[in-house]
Structure 1
Amino acid sequence: MKPLLSALLATASVMLPVASAAQAPAQRADRAAFRALYKELVETNTTSSVGDCTKAAQQVQTRLSAAGFAAQDLVLYVPDGRPRDGGLVVTWAGSNAKESALLLLAHIDVVEAKREDWVRDPFVLVEEGGYFYGRGSSDDKAQAAIFSDTLIRWKQSGFKPRRTVKLALTCGEEGTNERVLNGAGWLVDHRPELMKAGFAFNEGGGGRTAPDGGPETLGVQVSQKSPRNFVLEVTNRGGHSSQPQPDNAIYRLAAALTKVSTLQFPVHLNPVSQAYLAQAGALRKDSTGAAMVQLARQPGDAKAAETVSADLSLNPLLRTTCVATLIEGGHAANALPQRVTASVNCRIVPGETAAETKAAIEQVIADPQVKVSPSKIQERPVAVTPPLDPAILKPIAAIGAKHFPGIPVIPTQSAGATDATYLSKLNIPTYGIPGLWNDPATAGTHGLNERISTDALYRGRDYIYDLVTHFASH
């Protein structure tokens, strides 16, 4: 693995486009237009309950049209019967038809946000204390705005891409139930010609904030786990609560869930997770860092695995995980429960299957009266890990070195999931690019008071512009 890691870390000689980091001051005049686009996106409610992705897509379409994009290059799609679930696909044909296309993918829907829970109105962009606050300010309207802004800047500068570049702004990425339609999946199934590309850039990379506020590391997401949900169910005849019975459905399910809480899957590394452990571990000066490096060298080292597993942020990198998330049961306060269910959410590492995970849950429960079934929630396709391709990763690192000197770019495996899983159905290798770093503890992603630093947004914008321009040009 060492030659591969060396190749990824090498900052190869990469020709930067005109708008390089060294010329950053000349770009400051165009921040106002970018901020206006970003503000409009954040302040357009695109939640699944009451939001309108179609409206947000139309807003971006209007801006691209004003920049000079022809109508035939802007496809506003609205799935039948889903008037609020629309999105936008932009196609800019390159000068060399033999070059494979680059797809830029970002979702414009956001997680629900209640005003009464937030310090500030979640659908008003607030700049305060060096941060932008608002639902979607980070996930994923920052990247959606940057990708859209990049195309506008190209038009304004007269840039012409060598390879075809596509931008897909989709809805439904945040959906977790059968009522939500995933736009990326819909496009793959119904309009695959719009999405066809040789490779894609997506969310999921980012980076971690350093104590001084800048980036400590920059991540390029190459791999991700696959979410799968299971339902645990216990039923019996019930009865009057005045006559308690040993076989109580709630107690039986509670015992099963206690066993699930002890379930620890074996360490299962791949080239991406090994690369992350080796490189991120080398940056740390503590026992956990040493254990990370050792585990990358020897995945079977039980002592190293125990040390790394104790870190809650690192444990999901090593193995499949399962956790109880919902519970429901009983029908009356004065009656014995006749039916009790619990939902268990699992995140499966690449190379393992849902069937194997289900079998592990059943084995640890060891109770035939507890039925384990796949959830009826519409699941994503199983994630396919793209190659650690130096042709992709070396320019990402080299351009990163220009914008963020001394900050390492590390391949990562996400414990979450993105719409990259749908692109795997079209065999499109997808990489979550770095640039938009954040602090997971305070970012508020999917939670309260979501935010991103102004420094990360503006410097990330410059980096992503240079990155996308490089790949469009070479």
Structure 2
Amino acid sequence: MAWLRYLTPARTDEVLLVCFPPTGGSPVSFHAWRNLLAQGTALAAVELPGRGDRIAERPVTEPAAVAGAVAAEVTAALDERPGTELVLVGVSLGGLLAYETCRALRRDGIEVARLCVISVAPASRLRPVPGTRSADEVRSILADWGLTAPELLAHPEFDELYLPVCQADLALSDRYDGRLAAPVDVPITAVAGTEDTIVAADAMRGWQELTTAGFRYRSLPGSHLLHETHATEVVREVVTGHGEGGSGLSRRRMLRLGVTAGGVGLLGARGGAGATASAAPAVTAVSDPTDPVELARLMIRFDTSHLGEGGVTLPYAKAMRDIWQAAGVPAEIVPTPKPDNVHFLARVAGSGGSTPPLLVLGHSDVVTAGGEQWNVDPYGGVIADGFLYGRGALDMKGANAAFMSALLRHLRAGARFDRDIIYLADCDEEGGPYGTAWLVEQHWAKVAAGAVLTEGGWLINHPDGSPMLASLVCADKRSVVVELVAQARATHSTKPYPGMAITRIAKAIELMQNFHTPVNPNALAKKYFTALAAGTRDPAFAAAIRQMLAARDQRTRDDAGAEVVKRSDYPHLHNALMRSTVSFVSAGAGYYSSIIPGRATAQARVGFLPGGDDPVQTIADLRRLAAKADVQLRVLGATGQSEQEAIDTLLRNLAIPPSTADTDVFRFWADAVGTVYPNVTTTAGQFEASTSGNPWRSRGIPVYGIYPYALDNESINRMHGVDERVGVAQLRQGTELLYRMFERMKVS
């Protein structure tokens, strides 16, 4: 059966407008558009199997199948009308299908004049949803989203006729993996409803990442289905071009496509032949890059997420390049072997003296915001309740924005520094294969420096919210991943038996999670806790810290450490700074409810302080605990590494000496803290995680870590978690700290 339903009679046209309806929708969704288009425009809508004339057909649940079939029919239609320009429009789920159809057409060399997406999150931000939605879940979604009238949901034939269609449509989006999305060389217009409660209007700016040929964003009054409720306004935005030539429809064809409702054509609506529609700023635009909040929002809107395979950082890098070059600073994009996965460099030239460069290092990629339910769009850069929310707001696009804004503010004032300052936005910090180790190996001359400033140290508060302690970290904690494996007999789920794989894995997890490594802070951690005792206003907390530091036997140290954690306003952070830690990150077993699986697994990350516990002994202790549950434990390394090689790598990294605090960079930081945060204690410190700085520190180059903004415990705990955030006022104040720090490198 045909996929396209023509809603206008014209067949010899200058423009073919192909529309994709929303979840559960049909071509009827676009009936109001028939009277809004000028003569010479063919309006066609996609009819998916299971509805309308195709009600007897089985619904489709694979996006690629829809895109391929529609692309083939559109290609045939264009062959019958040479010279016709093609515009694809999709609403909600239809936006995703329109985008995939656009990709299919371009792979076949078919020209697409424009792609218009309405009320749909960027395809690149979607992740597969496991399982199949139940009938009750589908009804709930349809009711909550307002996609189906209440009387239809209650209709006796709903389950038979309409429910399978809606389940299939939801499966189309549930099965979509946005990590496979890629930019198209087709202009994209994104239209959002300001009252849409399903897709945040601002989130749609993210579609800019998926085009290399021009982007236009518009927000209009209306909710999720504004293409029906505000048809005239939406059609006007759909037909507004991106300019002349290859970036959109020609002026002549745009006018032929123009709105004609009520006798008002596009010329009349826009005020004459010389009038042009105003475009909303694209995602790559920021009015003032010295405003760290606006710059951080821009950075967050680029989805650079991944889970260790390397993210798409090229659009982000291009945006940063434009900003630096506008400030007169040479900038460079360094590609890696993975397409669109790039490093970015900008070099602020110094006065030509002998002081070696300072490298300001911030990773441009972020961990995926998947699995958990955010309350805001993780890639929307949403500001609410005094906080900036989004993946990377804290770690570390907020810090990147603070670094960059502080430097640009100096440059705007005409400042010169006593050394080159290299701004590096690296990729693959989140575990990909082409991170800074690769960059340093391949392009050392570009990144050679005398000191590195990156993420790491915390600025924490007193209970009343005023800043208490600022640390500049001089060493990273290092870690390995261990895997637990239980093997048993697979059988029918009606026949449980002792020693099933899942229960043994559960027992091993419990044993290891309740295993507390000894309190054993290293020299940097002791320095940090000494400063913490001096900075706190809580005498009992200070006394517990001092008792932990002064303890002469392990039991006393462990008891005092437990008291420190109990009294701390940052208990999880301080626990991680005093001992090795074990954190379970995944578990898996089973694939069908009638089968008891014969294999179960779990993974944990084990973190070690340099100069702390013996990792070999700790791993052996964990292995013995796993054996008590009849579970095997092995250490995982990089691809191709054996367990011993992974352990050897860990030991080499732990042996790297910490960075010295006896440098001008460290002193400039401490002086700047005293200026911006009077009476706040400063200290060198130990980071509880790893950074991108290891390739420099391993070469004897000082690497310092800082998150310049003050953070409460709740915000710190949202790092890599749901609703990641940083305070707006705190981000601005942190940028001022960096501004003052860089100020001490100025030459008169």
**Equivalent AA in structure 1 for residue 719 of structure 2:** T
Alpha-carbon distance, 1:65 to partner: 0.8
Instruction: Identify the residue that residue 251 of structure 1 maps to in structure 2.
Output: 503
User: Is the 2:519–2:554 Cα contact (8 Å) retained in structure 1?
Assistant: no
Count residues with an aligned counterpart.
438
- Seen in structure 2, the aligned counterparts of structure 1 residues 350 and 67 have a Cα distance that, compared at 3 Å, is same
Whether 2:541 is the aligned partner of 1:288: answer yes
Instruction: Identify the residue that residue 621 of structure 2 maps to in structure 1.
Output: 360
TM-score (norm 2): 0.54
Instruction: Identify the residue that residue 428 of structure 2 maps to in structure 1.
Output: 172
| Structure 2 gaps, min length 5 | 1-286, 566-570, 640-645
Whether 2:722 is the aligned partner of 1:464: answer no
User: Is the 1:44–1:52 Cα contact (8 Å) retained in structure 2?
Assistant: no
**Equivalent AA in structure 2 for residue 48 of structure 1:** H
2:410 pairs, out of 151, 154, 158, with 154
Alpha-carbon distance, 1:106 to partner: 0.7
- Seen in structure 2, the aligned counterparts of structure 1 residues 200 and 299 have a Cα distance that, compared at 3 Å, is farther
User: Is the 1:94–1:164 Cα contact (8 Å) retained in structure 2?
Assistant: yes
User: Is the 2:659–2:701 Cα contact (8 Å) retained in structure 1?
Assistant: no
Q: State how 1:64-463 maps to structure 2 within 5 Å.
A: 64-70=324-330, 74-83=331-340, 85-96=341-352, 98-113=354-369, 117-175=373-431, 180-239=432-491, 244-282=496-534, 283-298=536-551, 300=553, 302-310=555-563, 311=565, 312-313=571-572, 314-330=574-590, 332-351=592-611, 352=613, 354-367=615-628, 369-376=630-637, 382=653, 384-391=656-663, 392-433=665-706, 435-442=708-715, 444-463=718-737
Whether 2:40 is the aligned partner of 1:40: answer no
1:90-134 deviations in Å (ceiling 9; x for gaps): 223433453222111111222323699333333233333332233
Higher-Rg structure is 2
1:416-448 deviations in Å (ceiling 9; x for gaps): 222223433433321113531111314532222
- Seen in structure 2, the aligned counterparts of structure 1 residues 356 and 197 have a Cα distance that, compared at 3 Å, is farther
| Overall identity of the aligned pairs, in % | 25
The SS at the match of 1:205 is coil
TM-score (norm 1): 0.82
| Structure 1 gaps, min length 5 | 1-28
**Equivalent AA in structure 2 for residue 305 of structure 1:** D
**Equivalent AA in structure 2 for residue 145 of structure 1:** A
Alpha-carbon distance, 1:211 to partner: 4.5
- Seen in structure 2, the aligned counterparts of structure 1 residues 47 and 62 have a Cα distance that, compared at 3 Å, is same
The SS at the match of 2:584 is strand
Q: State how 1:9-20 maps to structure 2 within 5 Å.
A: none
User: Is the 2:484–2:626 Cα contact (8 Å) retained in structure 1?
Assistant: no
Aligned alpha-carbon RMSD (Å): 3.1
The SS at the match of 2:553 is coil
The SS at the match of 1:57 is helix
Alpha-carbon distance, 1:334 to partner: 4.1
1:324-378 deviations in Å (ceiling 9; x for gaps): 3322224554444322211121111113454333212113334495321112566
Alpha-carbon distance, 1:250 to partner: 2.8
State the structure with bigger RCO (CA 8 A, min sep 6), 1 or 2: 1
1:236-292 deviations in Å (ceiling 9; x for gaps): 454555655544333333332232123222232222111111121232424332121
User: Is the 1:196–1:428 Cα contact (8 Å) retained in structure 2?
Assistant: no
**Equivalent AA in structure 1 for residue 305 of structure 2:** T
Alpha-carbon distance, 1:293 to partner: 1.4
1:241 and 1:130 map into 2 onto residues whose CA distance is 51
- Seen in structure 2, the aligned counterparts of structure 1 residues 35 and 240 have a Cα distance that, compared at 3 Å, is closer
